[in-house]
Amino acid sequence: MSQEIVELVLFKLAEGVSEADFLAAAQETDRWLQRQTGYLRRELSRDEAGQWADVVHWESLALAEAAAAGFMEEPAGQQMAALLAGDSVQIFHTEVVHQS
């Protein structure tokens, strides 16, 4: 049985990008994600210092990696990448080991 995966992307917005513009792009990304095999759900959060967390749940690591491989080829992926401070982006994949 495959293990549910959490994809965690930490980042800051590029200088001059408004939260409203970013959230509009995030909605486009949501539409793309919902068409991907293995996608479960997504949350976006941010702290007071402007650090964002994009948390995406996947059915398996293989399906998360397959989606990631094509994301930057998509207009939604290109739009999202243009809004992030590139040097701030960190990506992690972790297995869900407990939930309640």
Reported as a single tens digit per residue, the pLDDT across 34-43 is 999 999 999 9
Question: Which residues of the chain have a pLDDT value below 70?
Answer: 1-2
Q: pLDDT tens-digit profile of 74-93?
A: 999 999 999 999 999 999 99
Q: Give a yes or no: residue 41 inside a domain.
A: yes
| CATH number of domain containing 49 | 3.30.70.100
Q: Looking at the 3D structure of the chain, how many domains does it have?
A: 1
What's the pTM?
A: 0.92
In angstroms, rounded to a whole number, what is the distance separating the alpha carbons of residues 97 and 94? 9
Q: What pLDDT shows up at residue 73?
A: 94
Q: What is the DSSP letter of 88?
A: G
Q: What is the DSSP letter of 16?
A: T
Q: Give a yes or no: residue 100 inside a domain.
A: no
78 is in which domain, residue-wise?
Answer: 5-95
